[in-house]
């Protein structure tokens, strides 16, 4: 009996189009090993599974024992914190997330994982398949391909099919003899482009919303216009009219996000719209109170947090957590104060998640919030930074920490108002999280316990 390798496990149980990493050198770690195999043997099989893809591209995979990585690998049983519980032996063997959602891969630890054996479930072949998803590949229609949606059993003469090779090279290019890496950078480290700057965004970087599409593209909306971002700035040929690409969608959008079902949601005033790609998905607009019970109108920002996969809405000084799997979807303990996200100001303009970080935008500046440490990220230059320089590639603006940011921040000790006169206060510990609050990477315990 054939057993299905899990398709990409979304909260709605639907598959979506893939995306890609914007770097060629990727790190991974096995944070939880299977109970039936030796760690050393697992390490070798996982490395071999990654080499299936690096043999045909210039991708490089480096294992780490600790710290933040691009791809986290875990062997889990039943419910394990991502909303997609495993179902025991047989059925779902594993699931993985596309790069736009973090790239992590989870394996059902109740399976009989084996190495070089016709018995049980072959770890190498399943891992190679799942890592294909982690790199951005969807399922293949070619039955003999590794990325076909069904586990065919152990093949001692395993070779990657041409369909798999074409798919991975379409995302990352073919392998160069010199092993050279194309100019692809993570957004957190990229340099400004040598191309012409976008004068509208450089002179006024304040935005309405920013979101990732299901295909992995990043879009910025402001007024009636939108821009598509590249790894170095703004793609040529922009801005364009929102109404020409998303038919019947108005301008001046308050907030937007793409969920794990591949659908993008846009919010304005008391209404919301749902699209699949650029096509409206049904009869919209609808009332926010109808589709997102417990969420207010006139939102500031929204994001799907990587810490637990739940949807967070922001407005003024407060935020709401929305869980579509829960009834009611918003707990009675919400809303909570945005000041619980230590270091993040009230009245944000937009937010977006990207490779384990949540980015908050306000006026001409942005913060990078580390979802694993639950704190504003420590980096040089420190945060807040210039949106124009780091996101829009405006070379004429400063790349350093923004000075004299006059944002209102709540002082949790006396509930008075602070004016941050110099953003260097951030790196000196002003926004350090209360370490007494336990925080699980896959739940928002800290948010529930802070007041």
338: in domain: yes
| Domain match, 229 and 153 both | no
CA 368-369-375 angle, to 5 degrees, is: 135
More confident residue, 380 or 99: 99
Residue-level pLDDT at 98: 87
Whether residue 156 is found in the same domain as residue 291: no
Classify residue 125 as left (phi > 0), alpha (psi -120 to 50) or beta.
alpha
135 and 25 share a domain?
Answer: yes
**Which residues, listed in sequence order, are joined to residue 121 by a DSSP beta bridge?**
113
The CATH number linked to 377 is: 2.110.10.10
Residue 205 lies in a domain: yes
Give residue 144's pLDDT.
85
User: Which carries the bigger pLDDT value, residue 112 or residue 252?
Assistant: 252
Residue 187 domain-assigned?
A: no
CB 163 within 8 A of CB 142: yes
> Angle formed by the axes of helices 123-134 and 162-172, to 10°?
40
C-alpha closest to that of 211 among 367, 354, 45, 382: 354
Q: For the chain, give the mean pLDDT.
A: 78
| Position 192 in a domain | no
Q: In this structure, are 234 and 325 located in the same domain?
A: yes
pLDDT tens digits, 69-94: 999 999 999 888 877 788 888 778 89
Q: Where residue 76 sits, what CATH number does that domain have?
A: 3.40.390.10
What would the pLDDT profile of 314-362 be if each residue is shown by its tens digit? 999 999 999 988 889 999 999 999 988 888 999 999 999 876 679 999 9
- Crossing angle for the helix pair 39-54 and 123-134, to the nearest 10 degrees: 50
Q: Are residues 164 and 210 in the same domain?
A: no
- Residue 440 and residue 317 share a domain: yes
Residues 229 and 378 in one domain: yes
Active site residue 76: no
For range 177-194, the mean pLDDT: 35
pLDDT exceeds cutoff 50 at 16: no
DSSP assignments along 399-451, one per residue: -SBPP----EEE-TTT--EEE-S-THHIIIIIT---TTS---TTS-HHHHH--
Both 327 and 205 in a single domain?
yes
Pairing of strands 71-76, 25-32: parallel
Query: Can you give the residue range of the structural domain that contains 130?
Result: 3-172
Known binding residues for Ca(2+) are 87-88, 102, 104, 108-109, 111, 208, 210, 254, 256, 349
Assign 132 a pLDDT band (cuts: 50, 70, 90): very high
Q: Does a structural domain hold residue 185?
A: no
Residue 431 lies in a domain: yes
Catalytic residue among 45, 130, 197, 342: 130
The annotated binding site for Zn(2+) is made up of 80, 82, 95, 106, 129, 133, 139, 147
Q: Given this model, what pLDDT does residue 402 score?
A: 60
pLDDT recorded at residue 197: 63
Per-residue tokens: 437: 């609050």
Within this chain, do residues 298 and 399 fall inside the same structural domain, yes or no?
Answer: yes
> Is residue 125 in a domain?
yes
Of 135, 153, 172, the one marking the end of a domain is 172
**pLDDT (tens digit per residue) in 362-381:** 999 999 887 777 778 877 77
Q: Residues 149, 206: one domain?
A: no
Instruction: Say what the pLDDT of residue 298 is.
Output: 97
Instruction: With respect to residue 252, please indicate whether it lies within any of the assigned structural domains.
Output: yes
Smallest CA-to-CA distance from 28 within 76, 74, 69 is with 69
Q: How many domains does the chain have?
A: 2
In 3D space, the residue among 370, 350, 353, 374 whose CA is nearest the CA of residue 362 turns out to be 350
Residues 132 and 275 in one domain: no
Q: Is the CB of residue 387 less than 8 Å from the CB of residue 365?
A: yes
């Amino acid at each position: 009996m054939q057993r299905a390798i899990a398709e990409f496990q979304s909260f709605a149980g639907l598959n979506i189009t893939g995306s890609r990493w914007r770097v060629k050198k990727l790190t991974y770690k096995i944070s939880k090993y299977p109970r039936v195999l030796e760690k050393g043997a697992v390490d070798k099989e996982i490395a071999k599974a990654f080499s299936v893809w690096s043999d045909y591209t210039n991708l490089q995979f480096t294992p780490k024992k600790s710290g933040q990585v691009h791809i986290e690998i875990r062997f889990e049983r039943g419910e394990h914190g991502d909303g997609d519980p495993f179902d025991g032996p047989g059925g779902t063997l594993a699931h993985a997330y596309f790069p736009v959602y973090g790239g992590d891969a989870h394996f059902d630890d109740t399976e009989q994982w084996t190495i070089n054996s016709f018995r049980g479930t072959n770890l190498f072949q399943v891992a190679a398949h799942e890592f294909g998803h982690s790199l951005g590949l969807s399922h293949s229609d070619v039955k003999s391909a590794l990325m076909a949606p069904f586990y065919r059993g152990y093949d001692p003469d395993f070779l990657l099919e041409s369909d798999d090779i074409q798919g991975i090279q379409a995302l990352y290019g073919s392998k160069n003899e010199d092993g050279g890496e194309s100019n692809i950078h993570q957004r957190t480290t990229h340099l400004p482009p040598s191309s012409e700057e976008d004068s509208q965004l450089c002179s006024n970087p304040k935005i309405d919303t920013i979101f990732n599409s299901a295909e992995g593209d990043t879009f910025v909306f402001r007024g009636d216009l939108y821009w598509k971002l590249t790894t170095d700035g703004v793609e040529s040929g922009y801005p364009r009219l929102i109404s020409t690409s998303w038919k019947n969608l108005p301008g001046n959008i308050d907030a937007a996000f793409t969920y794990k079902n591949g659908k993008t949601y846009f919010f304005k005033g008391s209404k919301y719209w749902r699209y699949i790609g650029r096509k409206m998905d049904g009869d919209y607009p609808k009332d926010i109170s109808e589709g997102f019970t417990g969420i207010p109108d006139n939102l500031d920002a929204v994001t799907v947090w990587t810490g637990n996969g739940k949807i967070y809405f922001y407005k003024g000084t407060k935020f709401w957590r929305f869980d579509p799997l829960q009834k009611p979807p918003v707990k009675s303990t919400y809303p909570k104060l945005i000041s619980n996200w230590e270091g993040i100001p009230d009245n944000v303009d937009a937010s977006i998640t990207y490779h384990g970080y949540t980015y908050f935008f306000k006026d001409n500046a942005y913060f990078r919030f580390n979802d694993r440490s639950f704190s504003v990220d420590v980096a040089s230059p420190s945060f807040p930074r210039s949106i124009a320089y780091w996101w829009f590639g405006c070379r004429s603006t400063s790349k350093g920490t923004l000075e004299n940011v006059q944002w209102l921040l709540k002082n949790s000790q006396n509930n008075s108002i602070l004016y941050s006169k110099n953003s260097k206060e951030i790196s000196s510990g002003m926004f350090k999280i209360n370490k007494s609050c336990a925080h699980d990477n896959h739940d928002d315990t800290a948010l529930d316990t802070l007041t």
